[in-house]
Amino acid sequence: MKFFIDTANLDEIRKFKAMGLLDGVTTNPSLVAKEGKEFRPLIAEICEIVQGPVSAEVVATEADQMVAEAKELASISKHVVVKLPTIREGIKALARCVEAGIKVNMTLIFQPVQALIVAKVGAAYASPFLGRLDDISQDSMDMLAEIREIYDNYHFSTQILAASLRHPLHVAQAARIGADVATIPPAVFDKLLDHPLTAIGLEKFLADWKKGKG
Ligand code: G3P
């Protein structure tokens, strides 16, 4: 499973890059707005740091404008993956981006049939939002498993990018189901390695070592 970080914060990106854990980055308009920086240079800097897929989202909602924005974003770096919303105009824009050789991550997926459609049209990534579905009491893992089954049935090469992850369990469950990528917010990334017994065990080892050395 590939690990992407779901943030536009450069310090967080550098931190997890240093741990050798980072395969890519996803951003969205909300995450970029939080940083208060200019969009294009920020994406360029993220690409420079990560040297892997970096999702940057369009804000247009009409296909012609989406494609224009997509071309502009794709020109920033070979690492940019353009993010388009899974709406009718987004599907039209996806078809044109695929034709133009632009890699696309289709976002805001909440049901398996949306994932089927974006794969048919040629998306590089499909992003089901797990946490937001759980928030409205629908089992996100059922959706994820159905998407995996559909993609396997037809050997689609579109990668399933599990998004809107809220806790380490989401990451583990998505891995069991076979999501290709997990995009993990920094706060969740931080929790992945923590277990109280790991900390207690290490403390005891070090205390015993000190005692043994007299
Ligand atoms: O980047 C898309 C997605 O991961 C957003 O997550 O927590 O805002 O539902 P969240």
Span from the CA of 151 to the centroid of ligand 1 (angstroms): 23
Known catalytic residue at 83: yes
Q: Which of 83, 120, 211, 213 is catalytic?
A: 83
Average pLDDT for residues 79-107, to the nearest whole number?
Answer: 98
Residue 29 has pLDDT above 70, yes or no: yes
Confidence of residue 213 (pLDDT cuts 50, 70, 90): confident
Tell me the average pLDDT of the chain.
97
Pocket of ligand 1 (CB under 6 A): 6, 26, 28, 129, 131-132, 163-164, 183
The owner of tokens 């696309």 is: 104
Q: Ligand 1: which of 3, 5, 6 to mutate, judged by most atoms within 8 Å of the beta carbon? A: 6
Q: Which atom of ligand 1 is nearest to the CA of 127?
A: 2
Q: Ligand 1: which of 25, 30, 110, 129 to mutate, judged by most atoms within 8 Å of the beta carbon? A: 129
Confidence of residue 16 (pLDDT cuts 50, 70, 90): very high
Q: How many domains does the chain fold into?
A: 1
Q: Which atom of ligand 1 is nearest to the CA of 131?
A: 9
**The pLDDT of residue 22:** 95
Span from the CA of 130 to the centroid of ligand 1 (angstroms): 9
Single out the residue of 29, 32, 53 nearest to residue 41, CA to CA.
32
Span from the CA of 65 to the centroid of ligand 1 (angstroms): 24
Average pLDDT for residues 150-169, to the nearest whole number?
Answer: 98
Angstrom distance (rounded) from CA 205 to CA 173: 31
CATH number at residue 160: 3.20.20.70
**The pLDDT of residue 72:** 98
**The pLDDT of residue 214:** 62
Range of the domain at 73: 2-213
**The pLDDT of residue 53:** 98
